[in-house]
Amino acid sequence: MLFSGAQPALLVLADGTTYRGWSFGASATAIGEVVFNTGMTGYQEVLTDPSYRGQIISFTYPELGNTGVNPEDEESGRPQIKGAIARNICSRPRNWRSTQSLQDYLKKYGIPGIYGIDTRALTRKLRSSGAMNGGISTEILDPTDLLMRVQEAPSMAGLNLVREVSTQSAYEWSEVTGAAWDYTLKSTSTAIALPDQPLTVVAIDFGIKKNILRRLASYGCRVIVVPADTSPEEILKYSPDGIFLSNGPGDPATVAEGIATTKALLTSEKPMFGICMGHQILGLSLGAETFKLKFGHRGLNQPCGMSQQPVEITSQNHGFAISAESLPNVEVEITHLNLNDRTVAGLRHKTLPLFSVQYHPEASPGPHDADYLFEQFVQTMLLHRQQSAQAIG
């Protein structure tokens, strides 16, 4: 069904492939990397995830907008995507939590969308040819003209987008996850005895999601979020029990300051935990290399694990991965593989208290298959605090 007064819209990929549909959201032109997400739910979390900065998202689930949007489900303060692609759009959301339609939400932030196209054909195109730049426009309806704009845009490889999404100043986070979420988790997890003095975690913000901060706070941590370019000396002034490396957008190899800071912090022997880009930056700081995946991993159903261990159903959102061959095997071991393509999905240092995963344990796809990683981080910090106290004593 078309919106009242719907405008024609055009989608053009960098190889000249053209799709015509109808617009939703803002009347505008957007150029970015076109990728697809296979999740059946959680479109608002996707739209507001800073890791999607600079990208146009095609949703493989054919119905979008049914539950509207609400402030509680935002992963950041605003939508981060360049544009959205859908098969069908719901014009009248029906959900008790909804405060706004998806159409009005994107319009408010000047983000265009296109619907009414064959998203199955688009997904097959991206899987066979790889993720590529593209453009959505309600203003430029000549494919040749829009293609010229698309071909002028920089590739995601070599692009540093962290500076666009990282906080500009340090702040403290205290909000925890909802009681219903934790009640479900406690039925499958053992509780940790937390110390009287809270554990201090410094989270380096490469584009951090709110729910990661909520999970850290839910485990009793005092969470201090700092900009991505914060120096190692400034981070250590907080006397952290642990350091968290967050998710974020763009090519991890270009985040030179983050890599240098992480490498310098290795000598502190503080516990470190990285997620997504944080996982890649930790790997790069240890001497590994990263590479761009053909079409990336974006969705809620990515199986991860190793032989002789349970398979975790994980949420992922990344277009780059660590090269397994480049890891220093003497110091680092692979703890998880993506079971679809055998790429590195987790690593751990053999002597230092460092570990990371390529997926999002806070996103609850399993729903709680991987939340133990936050517990593991807390236990590592508790052990490190105890050892430090004994060394002083």
CATH of the domain at 45: 3.50.30.20
Token pair for 283: 């790997």
- CA nearest to 357, candidates 279, 291, 304: 279
Residues 129 and 169 in one domain: no
**Structure confidence at residue 128 (pLDDT):** 97
Of 125, 152, 179, the one marking the end of a domain is 152
**Structure confidence at residue 389 (pLDDT):** 81
Confidence band of 188 (pLDDT split at 50, 70, 90): very low
338 Cβ contact partners less than 8 Å away, ≥ 6 residues apart: 297, 302, 303, 304, 316, 344, 345, 358
The string of pLDDT tens digits covering residues 312-330 is: 999 999 999 999 999 988 8
Catalytic residue among 45, 75, 276, 368: 276
139 is catalytic: no
CA distance 293 to 14: 17
The 3-state DSSP class for residue 250 equals strand
Residues 278 and 349 in one domain: yes
CA distance 22 to 289: 42
Look at residue 196 and tell me whether its pLDDT is greater than 90. no
The string of pLDDT tens digits covering residues 158-174 is: 999 999 999 999 999 99
The dihedrals phi and psi of 59, each to the nearest 5 degrees, come to -95, 125
Count the alpha carbons within 13 Å of 276 in the hemisphere toward its beta carbon. Answer: 31
Of 121, 152, 183, the one marking the end of a domain is 152
Domain-embedded: residue 218: yes
CATH number for position 292: 3.40.50.880
69: DSSP letter:
B
The string of pLDDT tens digits covering residues 101-157 is: 999 999 999 999 999 999 999 999 999 999 999 999 999 999 999 999 999 999 999
Look at residue 187 and tell me whether its pLDDT is greater than 50. no
Residues 223 and 319 in one domain: yes
Residues 81 and 225 in one domain: no
Domain-embedded: residue 332: yes
Catalytic residue among 312, 318, 362, 368: 362
Domain count, the chain: 2
Residues 89 and 183 in one domain: no
**Structure confidence at residue 365 (pLDDT):** 75
**Structure confidence at residue 252 (pLDDT):** 98
Residues 135 and 280 in one domain: no
Residues 12 and 141 in one domain: yes
Residues 353 and 222 in one domain: yes
Domain-embedded: residue 252: yes
Residues 89 and 180 in one domain: no
> What is the residue range of 207's domain?
162-392
Domain-embedded: residue 286: yes
The string of pLDDT tens digits covering residues 272-307 is: 999 999 999 999 999 999 999 999 999 998 999 998
**Structure confidence at residue 304 (pLDDT):** 95
362 is catalytic: yes
CA distance 279 to 282: 5
Domain-embedded: residue 300: yes
Catalytic residue among 279, 297, 318, 360: 360
**Structure confidence at residue 197 (pLDDT):** 86
Domain-embedded: residue 3: no
* CB distance 217 to 173 below 8 Å: yes
pTM above 0.75, yes or no: yes
Of 108, 130, 152, the one marking the end of a domain is 152
The string of pLDDT tens digits covering residues 76-91 is: 999 999 999 999 999 8
The one-letter code for the residue type at 368 is H
Domain-embedded: residue 65: yes
Q: Give the CA distances from residue 263 to residues 56, 60, 158, 259, 285, in Å, rounded to whole numbers and listed in that order.
A: 33, 39, 20, 6, 5
279 is catalytic: no
Domain-embedded: residue 1: no
The string of pLDDT tens digits covering residues 367-389 is: 788 899 999 999 999 999 998 88
